[in-house]
Structure 1
C-alpha cells in the first residue's frame, strides 16, 4: 500500500492506475477482436438429424425434431432487446427479443447497401427460444442453405411419420 497523501505515494498510485487501466483496455481488445472477424457457419448432412451452428462465441446445436417450420424471407427485421450477444451495423449474433418473433437466437449479417438481406427463420418447439434466425453474408448462399435445410427437414418429418 502507498500513502497517497505523500508525493511518492500519489505518483505511485497514479502510475498503478495507468497500468491497471491500460491492461484492462488491452484485455478488452484482445477478447473482442475475434468476435469482430468471426463468421457463422451452419453444418448438417443428409444422414443425420443434427444441425450445428458455429459462431464465436455463440454456437448452437439442434435437430430437426426441435423445428416446427422453416421459411426464408427478406422482410425488414428489428429487435427490441438484445439479451446477450453482439449487435453492430453489419451483424447481430446472440440472444434477442423481437416484436415479430419473440425470444430468438440470431445469426444475421447485413450488407452496407442491402439493409434487408435474406434470412432463414426456423420456428422452434419445446425450446428456450421461439425462433432461430440465420443467414450468410451472401443471399444466394443463404438460399442454398435454406433449400438443403428444407429438403432434410421434410425428409426427416416424413420418416418420423412412417415410424
Structure 2
C-alpha cells in the first residue's frame, strides 16, 4: 500500500477531493425567466458543494455560466374536433428545456479554461386544461430542467462524466 501511495497513484473516483474551490457567477443569461437561470446556478453550486469544490462569494477562481436559450416544443400531437367537427392538431404535452455552458476563469483577466460546451436539459409536461395551469406547469418544468442542467455543468467542469440531452 505504501508503494502505491509513493508512486503518485490516485483513485479515479473518491478519495482526496479536488484541490481547487470555485466561486459560481452568472456571466450572461439570454432567457427571460430569471428564476430558471437561477436554478441553473443553484444546480452548479449543489454539484460543486457535493464534491467539496465550492467556494463562497464572487472571487477567483470561478465558474462562469452562460444561459444560451430556452426551448419549447409540442409533444404528443393529437387530432381533436373543433365546434364544427373539423379535426385540428392539439398538443397533449409540451417539452421545455434550457441550453447553457460553463467555464473556469482562474484569475481576473485570464482566459477561459475547461469550457463545457453547450449542454441541454429538457422536461416534458402534460398540457393542462387551463392556460394558467399550463403556464405554471411549464415554469416548474423549466426550473427543474435548469437545476438538472446545473448539476451536469458542475460535474463536467470537475472532469466527471455528465450527459447532455439532445
Same fold at TM > 0.5 = no
Query: What is the TM-score of this pair, normalised by structure 1?
Result: 0.22
Q: Who wins on radius of gyration, i.e. which is larger? A: 1
Query: What is the TM-score of this pair, normalised by structure 2?
Result: 0.22
